[in-house]
Amino acid sequence: MGFVVAFDNATGKKLWEKRIYKVWFKFWLEKDVQTIYITEMKIENQRMMIRNEKDEVYSLDLKTKNVSKL
Predicted structure pTM score: 0.80
Q: What is the per-residue pLDDT for 36?
A: 83
Distance CA(57)–CA(70), nearest Å, equals: 6
Mean pLDDT by 10 residues, the chain (70 residues): 92 96 73 77 96 96 96
Q: Which residues of 3-15 are buried (b: 16+ CB within 10 A; e: fewer)?
A: ebeeeeeeeeeee
Q: What is the per-residue pLDDT for 49?
A: 97
Distance CA(11)–CA(63), nearest Å, equals: 21
Distance CA(34)–CA(25), nearest Å, equals: 7
The CATH label, of 3.30.70, 2.40.160, 1.10.10, 2.40.10, for the domain at 3-69 is: 2.40.10
In sequence order, the β-bridge partners of residue 50 are: 41, 58
Q: What is the per-residue pLDDT for 35?
A: 76
* Residue boundaries of the structural domains of the chain: 3-69
